[in-house]
Amino acid sequence: MTVTNMQAPVELRRSAGDRYGILAILALMGLVFAALALLGLAIAAESPGLAVFLLAMAAFIGAMTALVANEARVRWGTRITIDGDSVRLKLPGRRSLVPQAPLDREVPLAAIQAVDTRLEAFRAAGNTVLQRAYALALDDGSRIVLGGDRRMVSPFYTQAAEVLAARAGAPVRDLGTVDGTPGLLMFWGQTVPGWDAEPLAPAQAETRVRQERRAWQLVSIVVFVFLLVRLLVALF
């Protein structure tokens, strides 16, 4: 995403790995859903109990597939186009851990006074999730939220912010760390304070980073143990 010619038009999109990777996951989940549903229907007359179980599993996988399909739509539809002295922002509503309104807007580069960034921390059920959020600070005092980068996805907004700041001749301002509200276990109702909110003290901010790191370490250990058990069962 590096831009060498500062005058050339550029279109920023999510990486090919993000876009095609989610399609591969979607295809796999779709196949599992179809297999479970067809098998459940096929044995409905002979084994109604097992058929109900398989169809219930198919319904669950189908719901998860719908979520992945929406994520695929988001990744393929995200675009930031810089052409001449303006930038066109085509951003979906699902561009961070906090729901946003979909955005399709053209902004003059001269109106961008700064690119603001901050860490947003969400704590729920003993777990801490972080995202690095970005927003454009405009000359009329308003902000446009670009989106947020999180683990397991390439840092699209970090890279886009660097390009936008360079093209607009604007600084990137780090506003520290804030606590967000996780809502219902990060599934619904997440919120964050306004961009003018006071950040956490440095010691608290560092604690959030450590908490998130420990959470991912725990997940890694659980996955490793699960895979090890599966391997041992297969061998013995």
**Would you give per-residue pLDDT tens digits along the chain (236 residues)?**
545 456 678 999 999 999 999 999 999 999 999 999 999 999 999 999 999 999 999 999 999 999 999 999 999 999 999 998 999 999 999 899 998 999 999 999 999 999 999 999 998 877 889 999 999 999 999 999 999 998 878 899 999 999 999 999 999 999 999 999 998 877 788 999 999 999 999 999 999 999 888 876 666 676 666 666 656 565 55
Pairing mode, strands 127-138 and 172-179:
unpaired
- With 0-12 CB in 10 A as exposed, 13-18 as middle and 19+ as buried, what is 69? middle
Q: Under a CB-based contact definition with an 8 Å cutoff, are residues 148 and 120 in contact?
A: yes
User: Judging by DSSP bridges, how do beta strands 112-124 and 172-179 pair with one another?
Assistant: parallel
Side chain identity, residue 210: R
| d(C-alpha 132, C-alpha 174), whole Å | 10
Q: What is the Cα–Cα distance from 125 to 122, expressed in whole angstroms?
A: 10
In whole angstroms, how far apart are CA 12 and each of 68, 89, 145, 163?
22, 10, 16, 9
